Amino acid sequence: MNKQSPIGVIDSGVGGLTVLKCMMEHMPQENLLYLGDTARTPYGSRSREEIQSFVDEMIAWLVAQGVKQVVVACNTVTMLGLENIKKNHDFDIVGMSKGENTLLSLTKNKKIGVIATEFTIKSEAHKKAILAVDPTAEVVGVPCPKFVPLIEGEQFDSQELKDAVNEYTSILKKAGVDIMIMSCTHFPFVRDLLGQYLGAGVALVNPADETCENARKNLQSKNLVNDGAQGSVTICCTADLERVKRLAAREIDIEKCTFKVVNLEDVK
Ligand code: DGL
């Protein structure tokens, strides 16, 4: 492992590309190696055991690529606990930030919305993190299981997506939240629609920035920041390369990226 080794970035599908976008902006000198398990997405409605076994396979594949750090660009996988992902590997793992301090510094009425997968909301990790800083805050968690299949399925102009956005944001509006965190990395793909339905009075927080900053600080502390001029970006997926390219183009400059389909079995 050295400074030029790639940083692995994982997600169940294309969601983590919203974090990769941030890393491309703030860590342009790093070699970034994205792996999205598009063959088995979504993860958010699956059992802990199943998610853990898929993640073990992704990490084994990244080990074979010689990564120096892994950014878990997936809130659902982060909920497994970073120690369950790291195991005995010598690289560090950075999970999705829960954004508790940012949320509490920006809210005026202390009513905070969290939207995420069923798995993430059930864990109550965000609620616990926010209440640990300020027990007087009110946290409204809304599981949004319809979003990931619609986003992976490129249903951006569908009535189904508008209905789902309306259903989930209505709960938050009724509760009177003045800020909401997108705690599933797929959701920034529909940030504009979420903003429209929530209205100007509700701020939207994307924890990707904080996550990216944590990844950068971690590399610095390990003296592993790449001092090269320009890093490379490779986007790998386990299925549907053309669909992944179209979705990636919504978030990032795909001219800067190399795309590949990979078989996670190859390292076994
Ligand atoms: N993008 C993921 C997250 O941040 C998971 C979506 C899914 O596979 O259900 O939670």
What's the pLDDT at 268? Answer: 63
pLDDT digits (tens, 9 = 90+) for 88-119: 999 999 999 999 999 999 999 999 999 999 99
* Residue 172: both structure tokens together: 């938050």
What's the pLDDT at 67? Answer: 98
224 three-state secondary structure: coil
pLDDT digits (tens, 9 = 90+) for 179-188: 999 999 999 9
Residues 6+ apart with CB under 8 A from 233: 20, 24, 31, 32, 34, 252, 256, 257, 258
**Ligand 1 lined by 120 (C-beta under 6 Å):** yes
CA of 204 to the centre of ligand 1 (A): 18
Is the entire prediction scored with pTM above 0.85? yes
In ligand 1, the atom with minimum distance to the C-alpha of 73 is 4
**Ligand 1 lined by 115 (C-beta under 6 Å):** no
CA of 252 to the centre of ligand 1 (A): 19
Mean pLDDT of 13-41: 97
Q: How far apart are CA 152 and CA 12, in angstroms?
A: 10
Whole-number CA gyration radius for the chain = 18
**Ligand 1 lined by 186 (C-beta under 6 Å):** yes
Confidence of residue 140 (pLDDT cuts 50, 70, 90): very high
Q: Are 42 and 179 in contact (CB under 8 A)?
A: no
**Ligand 1 lined by 54 (C-beta under 6 Å):** no
What's the pLDDT at 1? Answer: 86
What's the pLDDT at 76? Answer: 97
Burial 99-127 (b: 16+ CB within 10 A, else e): bbebbbeebeebbbbbbbbebbbebebbb
CA of 15 to the centre of ligand 1 (A): 7
**Ligand 1 lined by 126 (C-beta under 6 Å):** no
**Hey, what amino acid is at 61?**
W
Question: What residues act catalytically?
Answer: 74, 184
